[in-house]
Amino acid sequence: MPNSYPKTEKLKSRKLIDLLFSEGGSVGKYPLRLAYLKTDFGEEGNIKMAVSVSKRHFKSAVDRNYFKRVLRETYRLNKSLLTDNLQQPYA
């Protein structure tokens, strides 16, 4: 799997984002929160990701943009760990 972050992995659909927050779960550790939604869209290992940073926690736009860049880069470099774990059966 290449270490890239293509357009197909970016969560942009307003309908899916609303579904994520209304029916999905979340885990968090300050200042991060991960919202997730298990779906059956047919494609195995299909992950979509979006990054949002709260103005409440990071007042400066420079800090928010830096934090978003760091999160996207961390995802890009470690997404193979996510896809490997998704393909394992759960108990």
Rounded to the nearest integer, the mean pLDDT of the chain is: 83
Mean pLDDT of all residues in 6-25: 89
Q: Given this model, what pLDDT does residue 62 score?
A: 97
Check residue 73 and give its pLDDT.
93
What value does the mean pLDDT take over residues 38-67?
83
Query: Is the pLDDT confidence value at 91 over 70?
Result: no
Average pLDDT over residues 62-83: 90
Residue 84 has pLDDT above 80, yes or no: no
Q: What is the 3-state secondary structure (H, E, C) of the chain?
A: CCCCCCHHHECCCHHHHHHHHHHCEEEEECCEEEEECCCCCCCCCCCCECCCCCCCCCCCHHHHHHHHHHHHHHHHHHHHHHHHHHCCCCC
